Amino acid sequence: MPYSLKLSLIGLLSTATGIVLIALGPFDRTGRLANRVVTYWAWGILKIGGIRLSAHGLERLDPHRQYIFIANHQSYIDIPTMIQALPGFQLRWIAKKELLRIPIFGWAMWSAKHIVVDRFNLAKARASLRKAQKRIKEGVSVVIFPEGTRSSHGELLPFKKGGFVLALKTQVPVVPVTIIGSADIWPRSDWRVQKGKIDVIVGEPKSMNQYRVGNIQELMESVRTEIESQRQSPLPFPGDSTTDAQAGVTVSPLTKE
């Protein structure tokens, strides 16, 4: 499929999905309907792009509890990738306020009950974290890209601490998630969506019992080190993967040899 056609189809699908989310907003108090809609959107984006997705380590997660997923960020494709890689979870993103200015996308994000942070207003940023705490208590899991933006060449940028403060205040386990391959499929500086494969490695949930707000740096470094390690030297994946038909994703348990 030509690159221009791919981009057009992705744009049309995203616009249509955004309009549906905006329309659902007043009637979808919890955002659960929106979550179902974006699951189909994510599947469609990966299908149009010719992208194969494998998620490893899902057996480490309890589908009945909430987590704070901390992932590296390389590409626009990371959002549908995370949605498809974590089937069954009610996911909400913590995103920067500036994204609300994007027509349709920003309004849809607001309607879908994602959490918006004003990075330049400390009082409002704290209010956003309190809102995130409330959403977690309502049964949602939070996804955070702690780099705050996509890296230019797939490198891991410095982490911001907001998501880690949230984890320590709520005592919700943090799960390091490593995305491998998305920078090659849709680089930051390119509009061409390439065919290819993305691997998502789900790490072991980190209990907050051993951390306190005073040693937040230790938690940040632990998560960053794990993600960087997987990016540089991913563990071998077993060859007998299984397919989760509902999620449209190949699921492989992650094991050390």
pLDDT top residue among 210 and 35:
35
Query: Order of strands, edge to edge, in the sheet holding 196-202?
Result: 115-117, 91-96, 141-144, 68-71, 174-180, 196-202, 51-56, 249-252, 242-244
pLDDT top residue among 110 and 176:
176
Residues 6+ apart with CB under 8 A from 229: none
pLDDT top residue among 187 and 219:
219
First to last CA, the chain: 39
- List, for residues 16-70, the tens digit of each pLDDT value: 999 999 999 899 888 889 999 999 999 999 999 999 999 999 999 999 999 999 9
Whole-angstrom Cα distance, residue 204 to residue 197?
Answer: 23
pLDDT of 240 > 50? The answer is no
Whole-angstrom Cα distance, residue 103 to residue 112?
Answer: 15
- List, for residues 138-175, the tens digit of each pLDDT value: 889 999 998 877 766 667 888 888 888 888 888 899 99
Q: Token digits for 188? A: 């930051």
pTM of the model: 0.85
Whole-angstrom Cα distance, residue 73 to residue 92?
Answer: 16
Residue 245 pLDDT grade (very low, low, confident, very high; cuts 50, 70, 90):
very low
**Per-residue confidence (pLDDT) for residue 61, from 0 to 100:** 95
pLDDT of 252 > 50? The answer is no
Say what percent of the chain tops pLDDT 90.
Answer: 41
Q: Indicate the range of 84-93, 123-132, 242-251 predicted with least confidence.
A: 242-251
Phi, psi of 147 (to 5 degrees): -70, -25
**Per-residue confidence (pLDDT) for residue 135, from 0 to 100:** 84
pLDDT of 215 > 90? The answer is no
- List, for residues 83-110, the tens digit of each pLDDT value: 999 988 999 988 778 887 888 888 888 8
Place of tokens 């330049």: 120
Say what percent of the chain tops pLDDT 70.
Answer: 88
Residue 247 pLDDT grade (very low, low, confident, very high; cuts 50, 70, 90):
very low
Which ranges of the chain does DSSP label H, i.e. alpha helix? 3-24, 32-49, 78-85, 105-111, 122-137, 162-170, 182-185, 216-232
Question: Mean pLDDT for the chain?
Answer: 84
